[in-house]
């Protein structure tokens, strides 16, 4: 558990994107993002897709890194 959350936390920190910013673009409450980042919950497959698209709107490199980190972590 937590692959997407771990990747998301790294990307948000590296690109200085706040949980509030991501939540606003996604149209969700920040508490959902917080639960993912703290690895309390895994986002659904649909949410992972929305995270990627939302990051793309905020910073295209952040979106690429999120996908790379998420997929690399899945191979381990």
Question: Per residue of the chain (76 residues), what is the pLDDT tens digit?
Answer: 578 999 999 999 999 999 999 999 999 999 999 999 999 999 999 999 999 999 999 999 999 999 999 998 555 5
pLDDT on residue 72: 85
Degrees (nearest 5) of the Cα angle 19, 13, 28? 15
Q: How far is CA 23 from CA 73, 75, 76, in A?
A: 23, 28, 29
Which CATH number is 3-75 given?
1.10.260
pTM of the model: 0.90
Distances in whole angstroms, Cα of residue 29 to Cα of each of 23, 32, 50, 73: 6, 6, 14, 26
């Amino acid at each position: 558990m937590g692959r997407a959350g771990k990747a998301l936390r790294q990307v948000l920190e590296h690109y200085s994107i706040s949980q509030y910013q991501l939540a606003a673009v996604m149209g969700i409450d920040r508490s959902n993002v917080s639960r993912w980042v703290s690895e309390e919950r895994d986002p659904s497959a649909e949410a992972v897709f929305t995270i990627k698209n939302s990051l793309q709107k905020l910073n295209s490199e952040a979106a690429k890194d999120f996908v790379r980190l998420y997929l690399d972590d899945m191979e381990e």
